[in-house]
Structure 1
């Protein structure tokens, strides 16, 4: 029997653990959820460690990456340590040779945009992210990140997210599984009648051909095997799709929105093992 760890974190409200472990059992993989930072876990006892809801890594990134290096020295890590090291810092967006959301990486010389989104390059789930129409405030927020030794990301707020939403395309072992339309953290409205502060309504979505083309260009550019990948796209004012984020570390996979998704994820893991 193949045994794999599902790497999670303390207090993670992860409703994908149960369906994933059940799907793994169907393909002959015994799965156990383990906290990545639990010093009592013997990672060498596992055939592979699948990185999932390690959502507390952001303020402990160096500790997390040190753990990943240690775990990968005794077992297989999916996604790999090299992927985690590059993907946990969003400066990777500067190296993508595809359309991305315009990003200014400094507190100095901010472009003149109607509205700004300011966030650190190492972040997750909208943490330390602010939306403002005040250019001076955006500059102050970015400068505060720099003063704390963090790289700021300053982006224009795109009104398209309020009507179009973000499109997230999910891939398992390089194959498309499903896509969803979801509400970015700072958008006030997702669907008619949904107010700010309500839980986001997520729906499956058939991605447009230009979105699929862009997502697959991104995947081809990653020089590593990927058990899972989530490519988050938004449309720019001109109508073309752009990458807002490439989630290769700990993305929520929206398995509950697509009946066959957990089974596809399990089959992809079985193939890689």
Structure 2
């Protein structure tokens, strides 16, 4: 089976340090994988038995084009994850309708007047974003409102959240699933702290607590489409309850280098789907 490992043409793709491990695991599962950029018009997607979206990290500036590409590609080959999931998951407003515990969020659409609640600290970001891009953390409510207004003036929807200090103590926990099967979990380096990654705070494997597993399973139960891969990011609120920070089903980093069996499980689940006729 010939499968495209979908990347992008932007130089940012050089940070994809999981590609070689994935392609090697695919080969071991009888899958011939090769790299192809979603934004390369010369690629013949129909020539692949399937396409797996991975490091398509430049979609943020061209989301409409990316979504159109996903739907067009799905018409000529199998796409993982499905185009409907990619469209839904690349705008963080999906969290409004999941029906699971999430970080409290104030939402604003272009044209709105921003009046966020009184919180000790604010995190302000566009709903279409990744890697803390265009994200501001501030204790100044006026500064939070001003950043939100700038984003709204650019025609971008905005989300404002309280800064959750627990990410600096317990950390944000990412649970990785392949084909619906739990693979591993990683405590991630806290973002928006200004603290560089070090031996003391770098990402590490961690066993989720029972309530974190329960929440992750609840989140995944809300997704009707079958997912080849997904990352569930959780954090604890000051009261100790876990909540969803983000559900990554489009192009998440999978922390494959942290769990020896993870690349093979990823490959196994892909092989199972390729053998199954939709």
Q: Under a length normalisation based on structure 1, what TM-score does the superposition of the two structures give?
A: 0.95
Contact map agreement 1:168 1:182 (CA 8 A) in 2:
yes
The alpha-carbon deviation at position 36 of structure 1 amounts to 0.8
Equivalence map 1:109-124=2 (5 Å): 109-124=115-130
Contact map agreement 2:23 2:34 (CA 8 A) in 1:
yes
Superposed structure 1 runs of 4+ greater than 4 Å apart: none
Q: Which residue of 2 aligns with 1:222?
A: 223
Return 5+ residue gaps in structure 2 as ranges: none
Q: Deviations over 1:100-124 (max 9, x none)?
A: 0000013522100010000000001
The alpha-carbon deviation at position 147 of structure 1 amounts to 1.0
Q: Deviations over 1:153-176 (max 9, x none)?
A: 100001111001000000001010
The alpha-carbon deviation at position 30 of structure 1 amounts to 0.3
Q: Distance in 2 between matches of 1:97 and 1:143?
A: 28
Q: Which residue of 1 aligns with 2:26?
A: 24
The answer to whether residue 162 in structure 2 is matched with residue 153 in structure 1 is: no
The answer to whether residue 8 in structure 2 is matched with residue 9 in structure 1 is: yes
The alpha-carbon deviation at position 94 of structure 1 amounts to 0.3
The alpha-carbon deviation at position 97 of structure 1 amounts to 1.1
Residues paired across the two proteins, number: 265
The alpha-carbon deviation at position 184 of structure 1 amounts to 3.2
The alpha-carbon deviation at position 16 of structure 1 amounts to 0.5
Q: Under a length normalisation based on structure 2, what TM-score does the superposition of the two structures give?
A: 0.93
Q: Distance in 1 between matches of 2:273 and 2:3?
A: 12
Q: Distance in 1 between matches of 2:52 and 2:193?
A: 31
- RMSD over aligned Cα, in angstroms? 1.0
Q: Distance in 1 between matches of 2:216 and 2:68?
A: 30
The alpha-carbon deviation at position 70 of structure 1 amounts to 1.1
